[in-house]
Chain A
Amino acid sequence: MGKTITIDPVTRIEGHAKITLQVDDHGEIASAQFHVTQFRGFEKFCEGRPFYEMPYLMERICGICPVSHLLASAKACDALLAVRVPPAAMKLRRVLNLAQIIQSHALSFFYLSSPDLLLGMDADPKDRNIFGVHRANPELARGGIRLRQFGQQVIETLAGKRIHPRWAVPGGVNEPLSLKNRDAILSAIPEMIQIAFQTLQFFKKNVESFREEIRTFAAFPTLFMGLVTADGRAGYYDGQIRFTDAHGQIVADSLAPADYPQYLGEAVEPFTFMKFPYYLPLGYPDGIYRVGPLARLNIIDRWETPLAQQEWVEFRALQRNAILSSFHYHYARLIEILYCIEHMQEFLEDPEILSTHVRSTASLNNLEGVGAAEAPRGTLIHHYRVDEQGRITWANLIIATNHNNLAMNRGILQAAQHFVRADKLTEGMLNRVEAVIRAFDPCLSCSTHADGHIPLHIQLRAPDGHLLDEVLRPS
């Protein structure tokens, strides 16, 4: 008779989850499931609220990436107004998005994953923290703290506070950037570029020691998806959807984010509150795809900032066609930090960013609006429908972490089959299975909105465990 190995909770991720590994009669791992056991329900309880509240309501989904929800929501509201956002406001929103990516990536790499990368997957769990990182590489620990602090400071400078800022509004932003604040941000950029660059060099020097993990951490062919600009660069704030395959070939291009129901399906499974999006033309689960840093670096044709472009060329040379190992999310994340800092500098050096015309006003012009942007973890889509009074009648959120759900589940199976020996479990084995999830950097508090879709199984048990009643609702 087979047995079940449970990793509960999965540590050093954003949110709460567990992993179960099913062992067959021969002691081999037969299946693996990533269970996200929390539920948020924002899609449901926003119904009836006025649309202009959405940016501030929706950003409460998350304390790590509120800015991403703020921007995607504000963009969906822009679409409801059919308003043209002033150029300065557009640039300010872009800078805010870049700052968000910097701080979130710094959190993921330095705080959550670098203990594994620096100390090794088999290190004592007591040491797998920022103090352990400091003991092994003080510069790296300080650099991580400084980068995250910088990203958060930029958010606070622009938007008033670090978490849940009320700044992006339908039609623009509610306050321009002052010359003093612009110069303060610019003055920190050389130091940030240096930290990002040095961390990249450190990572590249050490990545070869993870050859086995590279080969087995969700390393398989899938599609990749993300926003790209008309000339093939990464479209962090806007752009059209592109899908590429494992050979690096474009599968679909120039897809409007607003048309996502035509190419994205959403499946549900009974073991988790997280939905499973898939590429509709290939069906479920064959339409598996990945988003986020690795996907973005796989789908673009080029980058426009010099240092990131150089690093991207080197990165793409790792493997012919597309980079398939999800271990390289870490590498891609570091290159993105570098890019975001360089790109932020470009925006801030544009005099137009200091314009005081930062908001356009309009009445409700559309009863349906979609907003999409690249969040740190991938493409984020907010979709709202309103009544004639502007009250939300329906909302759908496709969260970056959701897109990767199929790949995460398949990835833990691949790693577990390679590393886990059911007859003798070790901490290092299980940590590797968790580390697959960490590579994707899922944000689970963002991504659990599968209201009304999940098959429900409720058991009422007496204190002695005796089953008193049971309700089973199929999906």
Chain B
Amino acid sequence: MTRALILACGNPLRGDDAVALHLARLLREQFAGPEVLVHTTQQWTPELAEPLSRCDLAIFLDASQRFSPGFIHCESITPYAGEGHAILTHSCNPALLLLLSSKLYNHLPKRAFLLTIGAQSFAFSFSLSSTVQNAIPQALSCVESILAGATYPPSVLHALSAS
């Protein structure tokens, strides 16, 4: 079984939306081996429930409109509490994927976290804004700390960056 699965979601053509993909590239370089699997995706899709059913720790990485640019937010997440009827190819999220993993494969990662980074711009661009680029080292540290055993409570904001 993969010890940790890191799932990074983003669109490389949409500026800061790709911040999770940049993080994933760095994490792949750092953790090359079967213990930590890094997977990138352009959208959350139901197929991701299958690898989730084979890991102890899941870390979801994404950009966010919810927070100010460069703000890093980490929370532990649990399976979606509703019926999940909204799950479709165009509408999915990490909590729904955990629910799907739990229902279909009868397995939940022991720990699951969602780390999001506030984006400045989702306009067409291959590059990140400087604010978001500057947040990457701290986001990386956050992922490293989770891999080392750190934990974060659910739905409580954790300002991990100075911005």
Find chain A residues with CB under 8 A from B88 CB: 12, 111, 129
Bound CA span A265–B84, Å? 44
Task: Determine if A131 and B103 form an interchain contact, defined as CB atoms under 8 angstroms apart.
Answer: yes
A134 to B46, CA, bound (A): 13
How far is B50's CA from A466's CA once the two chains are assembled, in angstroms? 55
B44 to chain A, nearest CB (A): 13
Partner of A145, one of B46, B85, B99: B46
Measured in the bound complex, the distance between the Cα atoms of B152 and A301 in whole Å is 62
Known contacts A107-B89, A129-B88, A163-B42; is-contact A141 B104 (Cβ 8 Å): yes
- Chain B's nearest CB lies how many Å from the CB of A134? 6
Distance between Cα atoms of A146 and B103 in the complex (Å): 15
Chain B hits for A64, CB < 8 A: 89
Q: A89-143: which residues lie under 8 A (CB-CB) from chain B?
A: 107, 111, 125-132, 134, 138, 141-142
A-B contact pairs, 17 of them (CB 8 A): A12-B88, A64-B89, A107-B89, A111-B46, A125-B85, A126-B83, A127-B85, A129-B84, A129-B86, A129-B87, A131-B83, A131-B87, A145-B104, A149-B47, A149-B50, A162-B42, A163-B42
How far apart are the CA atoms of A162 and B39 in the complex, in Å?
12
16 more contacts with CB within 8 A, not counting A107-B89, A134-B103, are A63-B43, A126-B83, A126-B85, A128-B85, A129-B87, A130-B46, A130-B87, A131-B87, A131-B99, A131-B100, A131-B103, A145-B50, A145-B104, A152-B47, A162-B41, A162-B42
Interface residues of A (CB under 8 A from B): 12, 14, 63-64, 107, 111, 125-132, 134, 138, 141-142, 145-146, 148-149, 152, 162-164
Set of chain B residues within 8 Å of A127, measured between Cβ atoms: 85
The docked-state distance in angstroms from the alpha carbon of A125 to that of B83 is 12
Q: Does B126 contact A (CB under 8 A)?
A: no
A14 to B100, CA, bound (A): 22
Known: A145-B46, A146-B50, A152-B47. A134 touches B85 (CB 8 A): no
A145 in contact with B87 (CB, 8 Å): no
Which residues of chain B are near A149, meaning CB under 8 Å? 47, 50
CB-based closest 4 A-B pairs: A149-B47, A126-B85, A129-B85, A163-B42
Chain B residues whose C-beta falls within 8 Å of the C-beta of A125 in the assembled complex: 85
B residues with CB within 8 A of A = 41-43, 46-47, 49-50, 83-89, 99-100, 103-105
Indicate which residue in B43, B47, B89, B104 contacts A134 across the interface (CB closer than 8 Å): B104
Do B100 and A130 touch across chains, with their CB atoms under 8 A apart? yes
Q: How far is the CB of A145 from chain B (nearest CB, A)?
A: 5
Q: Of all chain A residues, which has the CB nearest B106?
A: A138
Is the pair B49, A145 in contact by a Cβ cutoff of 8 Å?
yes
Q: How far is the CB of B24 from chain A (nearest CB, A)?
A: 12
> What residue of chain B has the Cβ atom nearest to residue A144's Cβ?
B46
Is B85 a contact of A131 with CB atoms below 8 Å? yes
| Cα(A304)–Cα(B85), bound, Å | 40
Q: In the bound complex, how far is the Cα of B85 from the Cα of A132, in angstroms?
A: 8
Give min CB distance, A448 to chain B, whole Å: 17
Contacts of A145 in B (CB 8 A): 46-47, 49-50, 104
Centre residue among B46, B50, B99 by max chain A CB count within 10 A: B46
A residues less than 8 Å from B89 (CB atoms) = 14, 64, 107, 111
**CA A132 – CA B84 in complex, angstroms?**
10
- Chain A residue with Cβ nearest B105: A142
| Residues on the A chain within 8 Å of B46, using CB | 111, 130, 145, 148
Distance between A225 CB and nearest chain B CB, rounded to angstroms? 28
Contacts of A130 in B (CB 8 A): 46, 87, 100
B129 to chain A, nearest CB (A): 23
Q: How far is the CA of A127 from the CA of B47 in the complex (A)?
A: 19
- Complexed CA–CA distance, A363 and B7 (Å): 42
CA of A138 to CA of B49, assembled, Å = 14
Q: Which residues of chain A come closer than 8 Å to B87, judged between CB atoms?
A: 129-131
Chain B nearest CB from A176 CB (Å) reads: 23
State A148–B105 Cα separation when bound (angstroms): 16
**Contact between chains at A138 and B42 (CB < 8 Å):** no
**Which residues of chain B are near A164, meaning CB under 8 Å?**
42
Chain B contacts for A162, CB-based, 8 A: 41-42
Among B43, B47, B104, B105, the most chain A Cβ lie within 10 Å of the Cβ of B47
**Complex Cα gap A131–B84 (Å):** 7
Name the residue on B nearest A129 (C-beta): B85
Chain B nearest CB: distance from A142 CB in Å? 6
User: Which residue of chain A has its CB nearest to the CB of B103?
Assistant: A134
Q: Collect the chain B residues with CB atoms within 8 Å of residue A12's CB.
A: 88
Compute how far the CA of A11 lies from the CA of B104 in the bound complex, rounded to whole angstroms. 23
Chain B nearest CB from A301 CB (Å) reads: 35
Query: How far is the CB of B41 from the nearest CB of chain A, in Å?
Result: 8
Q: Within the assembled complex, what's the spacing in Å between the Cα atoms of A131 and B89?
A: 14
Q: How far is the CA of A412 from the CA of B103 in the complex (A)?
A: 35
Given A12-B88, A131-B87, A162-B42, are A148 and B104 neighbors across the interface (CB < 8 Å)? no
Distance, CA A192 to CA B137, complexed state (A): 41
Question: Which A residues are CB-close (under 8 A) to B83?
Answer: 126, 131
Q: Which residues of B contact A63 (CB under 8 A)?
A: 42-43
Question: What's the least CB distance linking A10 to chain B, in Å?
Answer: 13
A255 to B20, CA, bound (A): 49
State in angstroms the CA–CA spacing of A129 and B46 once bound together: 11
Which residues of chain A have C-beta atoms less than 8 A from B43's C-beta? 63
Give the docked Cα–Cα distance between A160 and B41 (Å). Answer: 12
- Across the interface, which residues of A come within 8 angstroms of B42, CB to CB? 63, 162-164
Q: Given A134-B104, A138-B104, A162-B42, are A148 and B85 neighbors across the interface (CB < 8 Å)? A: no
- A146 vs B49: C-alpha distance when bound (angstroms): 10
- A12 vs B99: C-alpha distance in the bound complex, in angstroms? 20
